[in-house]
Amino acid sequence: MKVEEMRARSNEELVKRLEEAYQELFNLRFRAATKQLVNNREIPRVKQEIARLKTLIRERELSIR
């Protein structure tokens, strides 16, 4: 998901997507530990998405104050 698409979403949608990304990261790490992960680049991709989501949520928190 691109940053422009993320900015168009509401705070609730961003928080929900953040929770989903954390769950996805957990599943990827689990699959990596059991040698079932096919594409190792998925883990950094999800981590980057989590960082983007957290940044957008924090930006919105600061702009409200």
Can you give 5-20 as a three-state secondary structure string?
Answer: HHHCCCHHHHHHHHHH
Q: What is the pLDDT of residues 8-56, one digit of tens each?
A: 999 999 999 999 999 999 999 999 999 999 999 999 999 999 999 999 9
Domains for the chain: give ranges and CATH numbers.
3-64 (1.10.287.310)
Kindly report the pTM of this predicted structure.
0.90
Beta strands in 1-65 (DSSP E): none
CA distances from 7 to 4, 36, 57 (A): 5, 34, 9
Distance CA 11, CA 53 (A): 10
